[in-house]
Amino acid sequence: MSFTTPTPAPARLNRSELAVPGSRIELFEKAARSKADAIFLDLEDAVAPNDKEQARKNIIAAINDIDWGDKVLSVRINGLDTHYMYRDVVDVLEQAGDRLDLIMIPKVGTAADVYALDMMATQIEAAKGRKKRIGFELIIETALGMQNIHEIAGASKRNESLHFGVADYAASTKAMTTGIGGPNPHYGVLTDKDGDNPRDYHWGDMWHYAIARMVVAARANGLRPIDGPFGDFSDPDGYRAQAARAMVLGCEGKWAIHPSQITLANDVYSPSEAEVTKAKRILEAMTKAQAEGAGAVALDGRLIDIASIKQAEVMVKQAEAIAA
Ligand code: 1VU
Ligand code: GLV
Ligand code: MG
């Protein structure tokens, strides 16, 4: 281990994060009663400009009046390039009670963006005597944000998670696709031309680099990496496949832009009984190995060693968090 160890963000279950437009108050109670681990009430792109002020009022009232149970509750504010942003922060933090856990900051481009929000939140909390410190969820969804992701991830002690905003990221990088998340038929590989096998065309995952980079930046700074939206809510198989790819790379959850995606996310991001049993067997085998003075042993014909303990603990701890 390095002498530097990242301080982990407060532990929160974040398998599914439901997006709820702040202008659609009829959805709030449904969201609160859903099985989503986390909810963000949106003031940004799901709300039309003429509805922004009313949406702000709706969200403040909803945070104060609705029983949100044990859900992680967040508000997505508007971007720092808009004039809505300062009023979102001031009104929400001054008027919404301590039930609010997080603010989600979209289109973060530089560490200074986070610094500016930290300064505002700190002043409002001090002035209003807010007891609970608000945490930050940061959406990485521009080329600038992806370029500066490591500085952004370490820019504030309020930072809790990085989210991959695939729609805006595609637009910002001028990717030739209009889909929101998932694969694109043009991103494929043709098997070898001169070999004996018939040629085959395999779709690749065009989001691999972005998600893998986000996972590294998040984990190196103790944050949760969260995969963003999958727009085609009539394709549960596609959602599940995208969620699973991000999960094995290290993500801890995925957005749900429709209630039908909540169970899919919760399912993909909950290790199966078989996986947890296997992880526990690894821990048992390593405890025995260490008692016998061995560092590396075989289990079911495969190598396990001290690194296997840390891998297995990831699985077991996630299962414990879900069961709690
Ligand atoms: O069965 P019921 O009639 O009681 O309920 C409907 C509907 O009201 C409800 N529902 C939701 N409940 C809570 N939160 C939601 N976000 C939500 N969406 C729908 O579920 C039941 C079935 O709904 P539906 O199939 O009739 O869906 P609608 O046609 O009403 O709405 C579909 C959209 C996609 C418009 C809606 O789900 C929605 O607004 N989703 C969130 C969009 C959003 O927040 N976008 C911003 C994040 S994504 C991004 O920034 C980049 C792409
Ligand atoms: C989310 O905000 C996205 O742009 O995908
Ligand atoms: Mg976006």
Residue pLDDT, tens place only, 144-202: 999 999 999 999 999 999 999 999 999 999 999 999 999 999 999 998 888 888 889 99
- What is the predicted pLDDT for the residue at 196? 83
CA distance 85 to 87: 6
Q: What are phi and psi of 282, to 5 degrees?
A: -60, -45
Q: Strand, coil or helix: what is 81?
A: coil
Cα(67) to centroid(ligand 2), Å:
27
Q: Strand, coil or helix: what is 17?
A: strand
Nearest 5 degrees, angle CA 89-CA 71-CA 169?
A: 55
- What is the predicted pLDDT for the residue at 223? 98
Query: Tell me, what DSSP letter sits at residue 205?
Result: -
- What is the predicted pLDDT for the residue at 35? 98
CA distance 120 to 190: 52
Q: Strand, coil or helix: what is 94?
A: helix
- What is the predicted pLDDT for the residue at 292? 95
Establish whether this prediction's ipTM goes over 0.95: yes
Helix 52-65, helix 84-95: angle, nearest 10: 20
Ligand approaching nearest to the C-alpha of 175: 2
Name the residue with the closest Cα to ligand 2, atom 3.
165
- How do residues 287-314 score in pLDDT, each as one tens digit? 999 999 999 999 999 999 999 999 999 9
Cα(48) to centroid(ligand 2), Å:
15
- This prediction has a pTM of 0.97
Q: Which two tokens stand for residue 58?
A: 């709706």
First-to-last alpha carbon distance for the chain, in angstroms, is 30
Nearest atom within ligand 2 for CA of residue 166: 5
Query: Which residues, other chains included, contact 131 with Cβ-Cβ below 8 Å and sequence gap of 6+?
Result: 98
**Most ligand 2 atoms within 8 A of CB, residue of 166, 173, 227, 233 to mutate:** 166
CA 243 to chain centre: 11
Q: How many helices (H) and strands (E) does the chain have?
A: 12, 12
Q: What are phi and psi of 100, to 5 degrees?
A: -70, 130
Query: Tell me, what DSSP letter sits at residue 5?
Result: -
CA distance 159 to 232: 29
Name the residue with the closest Cα to ligand 1, atom 42.
257
Cα(50) to centroid(ligand 3), Å:
19
Q: Strand, coil or helix: what is 135?
A: strand
Name the residue with the closest Cα to ligand 2, atom 1.
165
CB atoms within 10 A of CB 285: 19
Q: Give, for 242, the enclosing helix (H) or strand (E).
A: helix 236-249
CB 28 within 8 A of CB 62: yes
Nearest 5 degrees, angle CA 249-CA 253-CA 259?
A: 140
Check the CA dihedral 112-116-119-122 and report its sign.
negative
Cα(100) to centroid(ligand 3), Å:
21
CB 182 within 8 A of CB 238: yes
- What is the predicted pLDDT for the residue at 1? 85
CA distance 160 to 324: 20
- What is the predicted pLDDT for the residue at 192? 83
Low-confidence ranges of the chain (pLDDT < 70): none
CB 56 within 8 A of CB 103: no
Nearest 5 degrees, angle CA 125-CA 129-CA 132?
A: 65
Provide residues with CB under 6 Å of ligand 2. 106, 139, 141, 165-168, 228-229
